[in-house]
Structure 1
Amino acid sequence: MRITIINGSPRKNGATAKLLKEIKSRLEKHEEVSVSYYDISSKPIQTCIGCMRCYNTGICHMNDYAEDLNAAIRNSEGLIIGLPTYVSNIPGILKNYIDRGHFVIEQALKNKYALSLVTYEIAGGNTALKTINNLFRYSGGIITGSILCKVKFNTNPLSDRMTDRIYQKADTFYNAIRTRKSKRIIDVILNYIAIYILIKPFVLKSRDKYTYVIDRWKSIGVIR
């Protein structure tokens, strides 16, 4: 069972990282689990320029850390993304990667299980959580749960209560993958609307610009 964890914080040892590493430790108690942990700030990720070449080739012409993360997700059965709130939403360094991540149109998370984690101090936690869960949802992911942690700046988030909650969510995530739990009906409906009603008709009108996307859709059953 291969799982990718992405720390979407610019801080490698902040509250978000501490919680994610606790999840990693919990998951690795299972012998069959292999966890790859990535700090999004480890290497530079260039900004998407909107050239749309990836829709034809499947990869970005800027071959940097974003493509390493994409490969890790592609080869995993589960994805966990953790992030702090910046200006009451997701941090720019994570958004920069999401723009390069081949997520929604390519349905990169089709049949993959997802868990979200957000830390915040004052406000915006639910906003950031909604943003990342919508990314999972519209990318075809199977959401197993979410963790929202209110924590003061530069303090340890691992209270006994939060640790128990972390373990419960990690166990739910693991069991969902192990048993191949089905997607919630509401997520099925929202993903259907995003892909079949909004995106698919648009893409099929410009097939020559979306060669890879169409091939990808054929491989996962979006179109025949």
Structure 2
Amino acid sequence: MKILAISGSARINSTNTAMLRAVRSISPANIDISVFDRLGELPVFSPDLESRPLPQMVRDFIDAIAESDGLIIASPEYVRSIPGGLKNAIDWLVSGEEIISKPIALLHASHRGDDMLASLRTVLATVSDRFTTDIFLRLHLMKMEPADVFRAVETSENRSKVQAYLQAFASFCVAERETAQGGNLS
């Protein structure tokens, strides 16, 4: 199972990026997680740029999504909304096929951020018919340094929550793939 975990933050010492890396470090052996933390490198979306060969960074991002079985998105809230870099990344996906039937779940690193989560849920439900609100995990990691995030995620309580979340999402991805293929796995 290949999962692409997208950090909605462009910060170098992002709590969300650290959380995704920590989750990757404790993921079960059957779940391979890649962390995409380069949203700040994507050019600003313009439909004019879609008619030419795509910028290489955009192509790499789209290819990573296409090659994954599912997406996990973790994002901070900026001014009660989706960070511009994450929204820009989603805008790059709207005209393509890669995200339409891609299973997507959210992972959140704060006790706050409900306005952003509501907006992000609306956007993701619009671009993917396989976005699930049923699989969601919130860890209280806000304002922690990356090393502290790793320690917090690795506690037995959080490790158990993370692994249950990942197994639930992996099962969802498999079920959605079977549904898409008419019940036959290839």
| Coarse TM-score class (shorter-chain normalised) | 0.7 to 0.9
Relative contact order: is structure 1 or structure 2 higher (C-alpha 8 Å, sep ≥ 6)?
2
Match of 1:154 in 2: 144
Query: Over residues 134-172 of structure 1, what are the superposed CA-to-partner deviations in whole Å (9 max), with x where a residue is unaligned?
Result: 233222224251223343413534264443322221111
Instruction: Name the CA shift for 1:126/1:134 in 2 (closer, same or farther; >3 Å).
Output: same
The number of equivalent residue pairs is 171
Match of 1:132 in 2: 120
User: 1:28 Cα deviation (Å)?
Assistant: 4.8
Query: Over residues 78-113 of structure 1, what are the superposed CA-to-partner deviations in whole Å (9 max), with x where a residue is unaligned?
Result: 11111112222222222222222x23x545323322
Distance, in Å, in 1 between the alignment partners of 2:88 and 2:43 is 8
Instruction: Name the CA shift for 1:137/1:108 in 2 (closer, same or farther; >3 Å).
Output: farther
Match of 2:33 in 1: 35
Fraction of identical pairs, as percent: 20
Structure 2 residues not aligned, in runs of 5+: 180-186
Distance, in Å, in 2 between the alignment partners of 1:182 and 1:126 is 32
Distance, in Å, in 2 between the alignment partners of 1:151 and 1:88 is 18
RMSD across aligned positions (CA): 2.9
1:98 maps onto 2:98 in alignment: no
Distance, in Å, in 2 between the alignment partners of 1:172 and 1:99 is 28
1:20 maps onto 2:20 in alignment: yes
- TM-score, scaled to structure 1: 0.63
Indicate the structure (1 or 2) with the bigger Cα radius of gyration.
Answer: 1
User: 1:11 Cα deviation (Å)?
Assistant: 2.5
Match of 1:189 in 2: none
After superposition, where does 1:1-224 map in structure 2 within 5 Å?
1-30=1-30, 33-41=31-39, 44-51=41-48, 54=50, 61-100=53-92, 102-103=93-94, 106-120=96-110, 123=112, 125-139=113-127, 140-143=129-132, 145-155=135-145, 156-157=148-149, 158=152, 160=155, 161-180=157-176
Question: What secondary structure, in the 3-state scheme, does the structure 2 residue paired with 1:116 have?
Answer: strand
- TM-score, scaled to structure 2: 0.74
Structure 1 residues not aligned, in runs of 5+: 184-224
Q: Are 1:47 and 1:96, in contact at CA under 8 Å, matched by a contact in 2?
A: yes
Instruction: Name the CA shift for 1:151/1:25 in 2 (closer, same or farther; >3 Å).
Output: closer
Distance, in Å, in 2 between the alignment partners of 1:22 and 1:174 is 18
